[in-house]
Chains A and B, each alone.
Chain A
């Protein structure tokens, strides 16, 4: 059975492990990878007038950086290995958007790494994994 695996990827070691896990599974099943990078963003945050003016410019720069620094190399590596991969870069709330991306592309599973906050840290700052399992439309795998 083939299907898409959405992988939350930010270039960190844990997201790298999540990617490896997803690649193994997808190769075993004959699926493909959707590499998703979400830039944390809230439309309800507060900015100074100067930040307002430069926001559009900064956004272009951030997208460019995400593309070149995070996505390009890993996508090339994967394609060299013969893995079919597509990429998505979006702004917003990470768990909500991962769930939405999975839904939009008809994925069969979401795979993310664990950032490794302590229980207290997760309580205070919230955890992507915790929020994702509540919101995800498909099974999730959290790779330690």
Chain B
């Protein structure tokens, strides 16, 4: 009896000792399991395909929304682009308002939240799975998405809260409540609460853990593997210093370096494309041919279309509602002007930057084609074979590196900075949703900011696949709620648009100087 107990004790001790090194591992796995089993249904719901197809309904939801807004506002994104640029230049800004948030600043801040991994890694994924043809659908989705941004950002400014101390707060939660009330529609409050919940989850996930995780991958890809929590803690300290400590200097440096990085990225891409100028015609041929035939890619034309649409939506966030939060601080008497300005965002993000990435990958011949001109698939049959077997950021990096050998290092720095600025932006979006739910106040805000910093460490340290899936799903769930709201409120935007255009024509709204 005693002996039996003793044996059992030894066995238990042995088990404990054996499990100690694997402890961290098993915590990850536990978190994964619990998370996957409790949230899997939600992820499956958001990313489920139409019955009998491999077309996710959420992609259709975004594209149908963008198409409806494009038609409803009479292709505003093509007719108004000149006026948008004039607004950004400040031609219509009252010089006496100098010192207030300009259109340019609102646009630049919103852009720094969207330009990031989607433009670098997402496009590589789209092109390697969907083939060059995915680029065509991505551009199309970007062009349509301009109308979604136009709608949501106009509403964001129109229904923002202006507090007595001069601060402003806006976004879908405010236009869902106030706009629905104004139109006498029910359910605005429910949608606003749902939106806020998804926004907080999306901010912690896609806007934070995913970014920290990818930044760590990039850094360890260059300096060699090391534990992720180190990156996590460093990032968390810097993020903490900015969002809690109010350390302006770091934010200022980032906000200056990020646009520079964006320009450097596009500039380098252009140089590589020009270096291969004789291939440009061929590359566009591949893009157009691939768009309608698939060029033998898995899933054919539909595969290319899904990838293009999906990655465009991931990248420019049109219809998600996040940009409406950033744009709503602008100083203007006319909400519609911010709509005009915001429609440049998907254009710059998707039609320009994403297309550059795609062209560089195609032109530098990263995708392996067979003798018949069709692309060869990799062994698993899931994507096109690439020269070095790379995918995601690695593919983009290899494409740039094949033309300019040292550029991958610059790219790594760019990815880390983009990740950081996206985190700063999303910490703000999440905070706005948080304060909408729990009220404003220093303690409530601090609670969210601390939670946000903790998630930076978790995101960098762990490879929490299901958590990332869930947060992606949360970002798209924001779009479900937001676009319902946009459908309900689009007549208000139309009224604003008509009134503004007629006053612009009559000369009541004039340029300054």
A residues near B, CB below 8 A? 39, 41, 43-57, 59-60, 62-63, 90-92
Contacts and interface: CB of A to CB of B under 8 A. Distances in A.
Given A53-B169, A57-B166, A46 B101 contact: no
A52 B243 contact: no
Interface in B80-102: 90, 93, 95, 98-102
A48 B167 contact: no
Contact of A53 (B100, B112, B167, B331): B167
Given A48-B255, A49-B325, A91 B99 contact: yes
B93 A43 contact: yes
Nearest to B325: A49
Contacts of A50: 243, 251, 428
B98 A52 contact: no
Contacts of B259: 46
Contacts of B330: 52
A90 B98 CA distance: 8
Which of A39, A41, A53, A63 has its CB near the most chain B CB atoms (within 10 A)? A53
5 contacts: A45-B105, A46-B258, A52-B329, A54-B166, A55-B331
Given A51-B248, A55-B329, 10 more contacts: A46-B259, A49-B429, A52-B101, A52-B329, A53-B168, A53-B169, A53-B329, A53-B428, A57-B165, A62-B99
B218 interface: no
Given A39-B99, A52-B326, A56-B168, A47 B105 contact: yes
B106 interface: yes
B169 A46 contact: no
A47 B255 contact: yes
B113 interface: yes
Nearest to A50: B428
Nearest to B163: A57
B55 interface: no
Q: Which 7 A-B pairs have the closest CB atoms?
A: A91-B99, A57-B166, A43-B102, A46-B255, A52-B329, A49-B428, A91-B98
Nearest to A100: B95
What is the predominant secondary structure among interface residues of chain A facing chain B?
A: helix
A44 B512 CA distance: 17
Contacts of B105: 43-47, 52
B253 to A, nearest CB: 10
B93 A48 contact: no
B424 interface: yes
B99 A47 contact: no
Contacts of B102: 43-44
Contacts of B90: 43
B402 interface: no
Given A52-B326, A55-B100, A92-B98, A46 B165 contact: no
Contact of A46 (B93, B108, B326): B108
Contacts of A53: 167-169, 329, 428
Interface in B409-452: 424-425, 428-429
Contacts of A90: 98
A55 B329 CA distance: 8
Given A48-B428, A49-B425, A49-B428, A56 B101 contact: yes
Given A53-B329, A59-B99, A91-B98, A48 B169 contact: no
A55 to B, nearest CB: 5
Contacts of A59: 99-100, 166
A49 B104 CA distance: 13
B256 A46 contact: yes
A51 B248 CA distance: 9
Nearest to B246: A50
B60 to A, nearest CB: 31
For B106, B109, B113, B259, the residue with the greatest tally of chain A CB atoms inside 10 Å of its CB is B109
A69 B165 CA distance: 21
Nearest to B242: A48
B331 A56 contact: yes
Nearest to A62: B99
Contacts of B424: 48-49
